[in-house]
């Protein structure tokens, strides 16, 4: 009889341990999802603030060029837009070059 009683106790304890494990897993999942949402919100906020700072910096450069050299504002804005288009073109070219190199090469590629 003591073996059956200890087996029953062990089974009961394993059920409690399993329930505690599932409960802990659920709590960790909720915590991880909240942390992920927080990271996304902070990343978006940081990105928006960087964009605003960049726009204000461009406006201050335009104003400094306008005040310092008496250039017309429309030409300054056009020059800044051209600079940004060139930078965007270079970024796209670098992106395409990076996208062509896969971390794991394709088995169908002819790399010799």
Mean pLDDT value across the chain:
87
Residue 3 pLDDT greater than 70, yes or no: no
Q: How many whole angstroms separate alpha carbon 47 and alpha carbon 39? A: 12
* Nearest by Cα to 65 from 52, 54, 53, 77: 77
Residue 4: pLDDT band with limits 50, 70, 90: low
Residue 13: pLDDT band with limits 50, 70, 90: confident
Q: What is the DSSP string of 9-75?
A: HHHHHHHHHHHHHHHHHHHHHHHHHHHHHHHHHHHHHHHHHHHHHHHHHHHHHHHHHHHHH---HHH
Q: Where are the domains of the chain?
A: 2-69, 72-103
Residue 85: pLDDT band with limits 50, 70, 90: very high
Residue 109: pLDDT band with limits 50, 70, 90: low
Note the pLDDT of residue 98: 84
- Of the chain, the percentage scoring pLDDT greater than 90 comes to 53
- Of the chain, the percentage scoring pLDDT greater than 70 comes to 86
Tokens 């965007």 identify what position? Answer: 88
Note the pLDDT of residue 102: 65
Helix (H, G, I), strand (E, B), or coil: what is residue 112? coil
Give backbone dihedrals phi and psi of 71, rounded to 5 degrees, phi first.
-75, 155
Residue 112 pLDDT greater than 80, yes or no: no
* Nearest by Cα to 79 from 66, 90, 91, 67: 66
Mean pLDDT across 72-100: 92
């Amino acid at each position: 009889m003591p073996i059956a009683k200890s087996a029953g106790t062990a089974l009961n304890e394993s059920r409690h341990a399993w329930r505690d494990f599932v409960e802990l897993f659920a709590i960790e999942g909720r915590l991880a999802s909240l942390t992920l949402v927080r990271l996304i919100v902070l990343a978006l906020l940081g990105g928006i603030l960087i964009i605003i700072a960049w726009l204000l910096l461009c406006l201050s450069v335009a104003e400094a060029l306008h005040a310092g050299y008496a250039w017309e504002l429309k030409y300054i804005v056009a020059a800044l837009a051209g600079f940004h288009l060139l930078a965007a073109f270079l970024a796209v070219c670098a992106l395409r070059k990076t996208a062509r190199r896969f971390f794991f090469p394709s088995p169908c590629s002819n790399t010799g």
